[in-house]
């Protein structure tokens, strides 16, 4: 059974395994430094679909089917699926997964959704409420732009702090303990808001949430950055990463040497025009499932803290002048069960 | 549990330091250059139309129509946003920007149909410009009227 450690952290006494995983992406991702780690890369960002929303659903469906086929499973083998995306009413997930016939739980945590869904998927296994679960999230640059910003062909200029929504999806199949990667602990974050109002600087809006969740996890587990090989934040980008490191330094936690950010890994920040880095539910999900999970499986990385971060804004809240609340959930992944 | 003794004001200071500013030394000259080029093209068109025998007012109107057409065409060919990325306000401020602001949503929202998509969303960006442009012209007209009374 799962045990609560400290105030915020949950430890898996019988850590579930991530038995299958897959990442899919599109053109920008295929031009990025992680391209060779992806399972599927479709250079056409419509993915052969009529609308951007359908294209995103297709990404998610492809990620799920690829992850399942990689561990020789099919949809009936999954007891429950936890899925989310950025679109209104989570239609990326619902339309992508409607034909699979798997009990469905839709989640919204903005770009933090992969850590949220992976936490839920793992806790369901640990609590013996399911034998196999699936966590999947997606985002699509074009569907996100039209919902949150401007039409694609509009000639507005982005500020240097803006981030690029990844056209990608990542899926992870979780099952009972068999082999690494194991999900050892999760730490669910609180909503944090330090008053950032600029929707073109979501890294700054999310950094306090990431810092707080990491700090709470360290305090609960009496550990610090030295105990882990990698502290992987979701999509803080360059600005948010810098701020999070500074915030943790104020609390006497030095994470700079161990820290990487999915938004800064997915793209070549010098040669691809992505502003402060990648973002979107698909960013952290695809970096995790393409690059990080294989390295934990091979024990190239032993202990990884995966902290996906989300900016919980909507176009309406931004227009009404509200500040942007951030959230960050932490999942401790390991090549060792104890 | 120690709560971070950090106020939103402190954090705003940190954010300002961490966020890279817009490279105005590059963007402003580019906007000037490309905006100027568009205006030169406009003048060239006006001269051309006058040479072809159009009276001044009609030549000016034809110039606007040509620039609007070109910007809408380039928007449809997925070229305009790439020019605008470099030119910034240089393409946004002239009538080309207005044309793009109407054509871009019309293209984007065609997936929602002709009525609720193209028809309803076409003026989401340009709408405020029309509303407040009209309001400004009314105020300007009143001022002009009052001054002309005396």
pLDDT digits (tens, 9 = 90+) for A247-270: 999 999 999 999 999 999 999 999
pLDDT on residue A1 = 82
**φ, ψ for residue A19 (rounded to 5)?**
-90, -15
Cβ pair B11:A216 closer than 8 A: no
Residues of chain B contacting residue A50, judged by C-beta atoms under 8 Å apart: 111
pLDDT digits (tens, 9 = 90+) for A8-61: 999 999 999 999 999 999 999 999 999 999 999 999 999 999 999 999 999 999
Residues of chain A contacting residue B75, judged by C-beta atoms under 8 Å apart: 153, 155
Cβ pair B109:A151 closer than 8 A: yes
Measured from the Cβ of residue A12, the count of other Cβ atoms closer than 10 Å reads: 22
**φ, ψ for residue A330 (rounded to 5)?**
-115, 135
Residues of chain A contacting residue B90, judged by C-beta atoms under 8 Å apart: none
Cβ pair A154:B104 closer than 8 A: yes
pLDDT band for position A196 (cuts 50, 70, 90): very high
pLDDT on residue A274 = 93
Peptide bond before residue A181 is cis, with ω within 30 degrees of 0: yes
pLDDT on residue B130 = 93
Residue B139 three-state SS: helix
Looking at chain A, the whole-number percentage of residues with pLDDT higher than 90 is 97
Q: Which residues on chain A place their C-beta less than 8 Å from a C-beta of chain B?
A: 7, 50-52, 146, 150-157, 159-161, 194-196, 201, 204, 208, 211-212, 216, 219, 238-239, 242-243, 246-247, 250-251, 273, 323
Alpha carbon of residue A276 to chain centroid: 17
Residue from A149, A243, A255, A253 nearest A194 by CA: A243
Cβ pair A155:B80 closer than 8 A: yes
Q: For residue B7, give the chain A residue with the closest CA.
A: A194
pLDDT on residue B92 = 87
Q: For residue B21, give the chain A residue with the closest CA.
A: A160
Residue A239 three-state SS: helix
> Does residue A299 register a pLDDT over 70?
yes
Q: For residue A54, give the chain B residue with the closest CA.
A: B111
Q: Which residues on chain B place their C-beta less than 8 Å from a C-beta of chain A?
A: 1-2, 4, 6, 8-9, 11-12, 14-15, 18-23, 27, 75-76, 78, 80-81, 83-85, 87-88, 91-92, 97, 100-101, 103-105, 107-109, 111, 125
- Does this chain's domain A2-175 share its CATH topology with A182-334? yes
Q: Is B132 exposed, middle or buried (0-12, 13-18, 19+ CB in 10 A)?
A: exposed
Cβ pair A7:B81 closer than 8 A: no
The β-bridge relationship of strands A9-12 and A182-187 is antiparallel
Q: Is A139 exposed, middle or buried (0-12, 13-18, 19+ CB in 10 A)?
A: buried
Note the CATH number of domain A2-175.
Answer: 3.40.47.40
* DSSP string of B38-93, one letter each residue: HHHHHHHHHHHHHHTT--HHHHHHHHHHHHHHHHHHHHHTT-HHHHHHHHTHHHHS
Pairs across A and B, CB distance < 8 A: 104
User: What are the extents of the domains in chain A?
Assistant: 2-175, 182-334
- Cα(A163)–Cα(A213) distance, rounded to whole angstroms? 22
Q: What is the DSSP letter of A111?
A: B
Q: Is the dihedral of CA A192, A194, A198, A204 positive or negative?
A: negative
Q: For residue B74, give the chain A residue with the closest CA.
A: A153
**φ, ψ for residue B54 (rounded to 5)?**
-80, 145
Q: Is B111 exposed, middle or buried (0-12, 13-18, 19+ CB in 10 A)?
A: middle
**What is the C-alpha end-to-end distance of chain A, expressed in Å?**
14
> Does residue A157 register a pLDDT over 90?
no
CATH class, domain A182-334, is: alpha beta
pLDDT digits (tens, 9 = 90+) for A79-131: 999 999 999 999 999 999 999 999 999 999 999 999 999 999 999 999 999 99
How far is the alpha carbon of A115 from chain B, nearest alpha carbon, in Å? 24
Nearest by CB to residue A153, choosing from B20, B23, B104, is B104
> Does residue A145 register a pLDDT over 60?
yes
Q: Is the dihedral of CA A152, A153, A154, A159 positive or negative?
A: positive
Cβ pair A155:B85 closer than 8 A: yes
Kindly state the average pLDDT of the residues B103-118: 95
Mean pLDDT of all residues belonging to chain B: 92
Nearest by CB to residue B22, choosing from A50, A154, A159, is A159
- Cα(A197)–Cα(A282) distance, rounded to whole angstroms? 24
Q: For residue B124, give the chain A residue with the closest CA.
A: A150
Q: What is the DSSP letter of A182?
A: E
Element (H, E) at A233: strand A230-233
Residue B63 vs residues B23, B44, B68, B70: alpha-carbon distances, Å = 33, 9, 9, 11
H-only helix segments in chain A: 27-30, 52-70, 91-97, 113-126, 141-148, 202-221, 237-250, 262-265, 281-287, 293-297, 315-319
pLDDT on residue B1 = 44
How far is the alpha carbon of A56 from chain B, nearest alpha carbon, in Å? 15
ipTM over 0.85: yes
Nearest by CB to residue B84, choosing from A155, A216, A243, is A155
> Does residue A315 register a pLDDT over 70?
yes
């Amino acid at each position: 059974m799962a045990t609560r450690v400290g105030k915020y952290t949950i430890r898996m006494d019988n850590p579930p395994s991530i038995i299958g995983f897959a990442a899919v992406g599109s053109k920008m991702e295929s031009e990025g430094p992680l391209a060779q780690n992806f399972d599927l890369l479709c250079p056409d960002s419509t993915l052969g679909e009529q609308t951007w929303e359908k294209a995103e659903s297709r990404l998610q469906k492809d990620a799920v089917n690829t992850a399942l086929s990689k561990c020789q499973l099919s949809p009936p083998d999954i007891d429950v699926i936890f899925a989310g995306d950025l679109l209104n009413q989570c239609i990326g997930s619902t339309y992508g997964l409607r034909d699979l016939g798997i009990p469905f739980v839709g989640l919204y945590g903005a770009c933090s959704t992969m850590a949220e869904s992976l936490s839920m998927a793992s806790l369901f296994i640990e609590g013996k409420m399911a034998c196999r679960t699936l966590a999947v999230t997606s985002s699509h640059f074009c569907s996100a732009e039209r919902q949150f910003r401007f039409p694609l062909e509009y000639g507005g200029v982005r500020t240097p702090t803006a981030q690029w929504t990844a056209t990608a999806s990542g899926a992870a199949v979780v099952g009972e303990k068999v082999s690494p990667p194991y999900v050892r602990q999760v730490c669910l974050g609180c909503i944090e808001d330090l008053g950032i109002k600029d929707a073109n600087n979501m890294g700054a809006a999310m950094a306090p949430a990431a810092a707080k969740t990491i700090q709470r996890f360290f305090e609960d587990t009496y550990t610090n950055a030295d105990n882990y090989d990698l502290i992987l934040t979701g999509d803080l980008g360059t600005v948010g990463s810098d701020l999070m490191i500074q915030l943790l330094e104020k609390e006497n936690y030095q994470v700079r040497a161990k820290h990487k950010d999915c938004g800064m890994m997915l793209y070549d920040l010098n040669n691809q025009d992505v502003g402060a880095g990648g973002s979107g539910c698909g960013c952290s999900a695809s970096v995790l499932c393409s690059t990080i999970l294989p390295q934990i499986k091979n024990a190239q990385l032993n202990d990884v803290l995966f902290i996906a971060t989300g900016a919980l804004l909507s176009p309406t809240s931004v227009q009404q002048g509200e500040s942007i609340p951030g959230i960050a959930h932490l999942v401790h992944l390991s090549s060792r069960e104890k | 549990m120690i709560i971070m003794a950090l106020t939103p004001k402190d954090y705003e200071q940190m954010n300002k330091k961490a966020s890279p500013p817009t490279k105005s030394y590059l963007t402003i000259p580019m906007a000037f250059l490309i905006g100027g080029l568009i205006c030169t093209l406009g003048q060239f068109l006006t001269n051309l139309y006058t040479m072809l025998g159009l009276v001044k007012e009609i030549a000016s109107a034809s110039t606007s129509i040509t620039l609007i057409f070109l910007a809408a065409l380039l928007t449809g060919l997925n070229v305009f946003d790439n020019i605008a990325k470099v030119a910034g306000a240089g393409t946004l401020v002239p009538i080309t920007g207005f044309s793009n602001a109407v054509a871009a949503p019309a293209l984007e929202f065609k997936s929602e149909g002709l009525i609720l998509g193209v028809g309803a969303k076409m003026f989401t960006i340009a709408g405020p410009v029309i509303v407040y442009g009209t309001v400004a012209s009314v105020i300007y007209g009143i001022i002009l009227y009052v001054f002309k009374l005396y």
